[in-house]
Amino acid sequence: MKRTIQKHALVAALWSLAFTVLPVHAADDAAQLQQGKVLFGQGAVPACALCHALKDAGAEGAVGPSLDELKPDAKRVATALRNGIGQMPSYNGKLSDAQIAALAAYVAKASGGSK
Ligand code: HEC
């Protein structure tokens, strides 16, 4: 019996935590997208913009596919960054997990792939 009560208390605590954290989340998303945009234009080495077109970032690279046309979702971007693909180098070890997540979220959103 005592166990169940503790479990309920824990669940309640987690819920209240989730609701306290939620409003902050929107600001985090904006910060993450901004970080992704900066990485796209110049932060990543070599910069994505050298090879890819993406209007939102003012990028007109033509070595790789236009991301505006490809509209990759975040998972597809992250996979390309981790493993590399064709002529595109892998960014594994060059970008942190957080940076890869930021780029993936930004490219998906800016290209329309997240819709
Ligand atoms: C040296 C040029 C180059 C750079 C720099 C580069 N890419 Fe690419 N990228 C390519 C090429 C070429 C392809 C197409 C590969 C293929 O399909 O054979 C590609 C493909 C992709 C794809 C599509 C993957 C798929 O599943 O079809 C995404 C998404 C992508 N790049 C995102 C990025 C991002 C984000 C960056 C910056 C961190 C970046 N690229 C940097 C050349 C580049």
Element (H, E) at 35: helix 2-38
Buried b (16+ CB within 10 A) or exposed e, 18-47: eeeeeeeeeeeeeebbebbbbbbbebbeeb
Mean pLDDT of 13-21: 56
19: Cβ contacts below 8 Å, ≥ 6 apart: none
How many angstroms does the Cα of residue 73 sit away from the middle of ligand 1? 13
What 3 state SS string does 68-114 have? HHHCCCHHHHHHHHHHCECCECCCECCECHHHHHHHHHHHHHHHCCC
pTM above 0.85, yes or no: no
Which atom of ligand 1 is nearest to 86's Cα? 18
Q: List, chain by chain if needed, residues with CB within 6 Å of any ligand 1 atom.
A: 44, 46, 48, 50-52, 63-65, 70, 72, 76-77, 80-81, 85-88, 91, 103, 107
Higher model confidence: residue 102 or residue 3? 102
Q: Write out pLDDT tens, residues 59-73.
A: 999 999 999 999 999
* Structural domains of the chain, with CATH: 26-111 (1.10.760.10)
Per-residue pLDDT at 52 exceeds 70: yes
